[in-house]
Amino acid sequence: MSDTPKVRLRGLYKIFGANHKEMMPHVKAGMGKPELLEKHGHVLGLQDINVDMQAGEITVVMGLSGSGKSTLIRHLNRLIDPTDGEILVDGLDVMGLSDDALRKMRQDKMSMVFQKFALLPHRTVLQNAAMALEVQGVDEATRNAAGAKWLARVGLDGYESHYPAQLSGGMQQRVGIARALTADTDIMLMDEAFSALDPLIRTDMQNLLLELQEELHKTIVFITHDLDEALKLADHLVILKDGAVVQQGEPQGILLNPADPYIEDFVSDINRARVLRVKSVMGSLTLDSFAGDVQIGDNLESLIALSGGDTAHTYRVMDGDTPVGQLDMRDLVKALVPRVSGAA
């Protein structure tokens, strides 16, 4: 894998307002979002964003309403232009692209899955799935074959001739995912893609995305306000507040080591046993005798069930057939207690 991130954001700022360029000195001097709005009537959307998004990984950007997450994702394909900063895709400065080159990048490199599905109601499911290839000028037989392939892959085989209104919300979102996959782009942008779905359907869609990712290794940028969803999907998690990155990194690490009280509060109500994995709690392999073997990717909830709640047990941790460490149940119990500010 290349050392160059698939997408790199450097010093990215977005200020909304008529004189946004003139506001940059104020912001760079430390003026925050509330003060900028109060004194100058401008809105600070993004503030000094520096994020690397690696090829083949899911980068989840999350935060509360107004944190800037949807503004950020729309910068990647320049649906919104920044006030300042760099947007690099495969090392190429997106801000330097001509209109034609930008259009080609949007068609060939990036596809988007929306919260509200964004299907054309007068077109069939197959026509919607194949739409990106139609825009690219691909002939009808080829694009329909590709669309049908991905519809089948997301579980919609047999629905090609239906119209969006004949499908449930979850099925419509499957069409949106099939459309993005039919486009055959390296990068998929997913803006609150599952937020409009009922909880059970949402879980199914998350599982489908992870299953597809295991096979396809797309570079996915996923926006959500739901921490459970973020922790489930993310290889790299970026948490925003008031347009700035508060903390980013591997999700398990953020959960175990929140950077400040804002993050601590964010993660305080999470079911840590269900989210944390053995790999985040295990230690080096030092013993010869164990209560049993567990896999490095197992969640801690499964170990609690396996041990019957007995904290005297220590398990050998396996990565497939290879021993890689051990897990003392007493360390597991400590990991289940959220860290509190000021605690040792």
Tell me the pTM.
Answer: 0.86
pLDDT beyond 60 at 271:
yes
Tens digit of pLDDT for each residue in 279-296? 989 999 999 999 999 999
Cα 8 to Cα 297: distance, rounded to the nearest angstrom: 29
Closest CA to 17 of 32, 2, 36: 36
Mean of the per-residue pLDDT values for the chain? Answer: 91
Tens digit of pLDDT for each residue in 151-164? 999 999 999 999 99
Closest CA to 264 of 254, 272, 250: 254
pLDDT at residue number 344: 42
pLDDT beyond 90 at 27:
yes
Indicate the domain borders of the chain: 53-267, 273-335
Tens digit of pLDDT for each residue in 235-256? 999 999 999 999 999 998 898 8
Provide the pLDDT confidence category of residue 339 given band limits of 50, 70 and 90: low
CA distances from 241 to 199, 206, 343 (A): 25, 24, 24
pLDDT at residue number 6: 96
Fold annotation for 273-335: CBS domain Like (3.90.1280)
pLDDT at residue number 165: 94
CATH superfamily for 53-267 is: P-loop containing nucleotide triphosphate hydrolases (3.40.50.300)
Strands (E) across 82-199 are located at 84-89, 92-93, 110-113, 187-191
pLDDT beyond 80 at 178:
yes
pLDDT beyond 60 at 2:
no
